[in-house]
Structure 1
């Protein structure tokens, strides 16, 4: 049985403020509260457990400095998605520069965490073929279940832009899935 401490009852904004002030317990609580979100978003982006773990760890390292950029407005999770997806894109660029991305994806299947459905696995593999902004919009809206408004905040764009990216992604995914079935 887990004992709830006073720090566990604080809001994300309160924890972030304390963490910025050097409170390690507050920072640890913030990480514990959101590590699954960081891993899940990174996994949906990369499709590989090892890459998702690397991204989540990278975010843990970046977070103390990155917290300074959070305004405290809006949901902490929305801001955190942005940090995670930026870290995932950075990692993808690094792997591509190193010539390891195609090789890594070819050598490891990419099942969706918690999902044994083969169709969902194929769909997320197709999502990973989308251009970055479409991929990010789909990951946030469908993978993480955030609203278009929250996705817009995380992506630093207008809500209508997220809607456009989702619409374009759906059209592209339809084509990709039809090509795969043929």
Structure 2
């Protein structure tokens, strides 16, 4: 059923496109929320992705899974929002002044501290960490989403661990 909807949506069928959006909206929103941890940002991204999808669907070639392709589209929207947020954040304060960087030593606070530190990594390292450790993708799937090779994903993860060790002052699993 989904392949037929995709084919029709690519051909300009508005009803098929609407059904496709309906089928995947929760996935789009949940993915955006996982990356932003903000309900408002997730809603903005989900709306943006739905709008982008109207023209982007024509570029779907069916070579991979639609959901993987859609995930990459959501990730691009997340990155766009993140770049905008960085520009705004630079105007007001640096990451080092963020109180979340000084979390207590409880397990929950440790995880928050790690994820906060992950947000300070380079975009490629951060994306690799999020895809593999937060989303559970294997290196091959992460490579497909990021548009790079598996060894590149592995290298980004290795470099991220080294950087997190410096940022946090301890080894990160």
Partner of 1:90: 80
Q: Which of structures 1 and 2 has the larger relative contact order (alpha carbons within 8 angstroms, sep 6+)?
A: 1
**Once the two structures are superposed, what CA deviation does each residue of 1:18-76 show, in whole Å capped at 9, x if it has no partner?**
21223334323322332233223323333322112211111011011111122111111
Are 1:130 and 1:172, in contact at CA under 8 Å, matched by a contact in 2? yes
Partner of 1:80: 70
TM-score normalised by structure 1 residue count? 0.74
Local SS of the residue matching 1:59: helix
1:29-68 → structure 2 map (5 Å cutoff): 29-68=19-58
Gaps of 5+ in 1: 1-9, 110-115
Partner of 1:133: 124
RMSD over aligned Cα atoms: 2.9
TM-score normalised by structure 2 residue count? 0.78
Gaps of 5+ in 2: 101-106
Local SS of the residue matching 1:146: coil
Partner of 1:144: 135
Aligned length: 162
Distance, in Å, in 2 between the alignment partners of 1:135 and 1:101 is: 22
Local SS of the residue matching 2:169: helix
Structure-2 change in CA distance of 1:98 and 1:129 (3 Å) = closer
Partner of 1:3: none
Moved more, 86-95 or 60-69: 86-95
**Once the two structures are superposed, what CA deviation does each residue of 1:103-142 show, in whole Å capped at 9, x if it has no partner?**
7x999x8xxxxxx944433322222111100111112112
Partner of 1:113: none
Distance, in Å, in 2 between the alignment partners of 1:79 and 1:140 is: 14
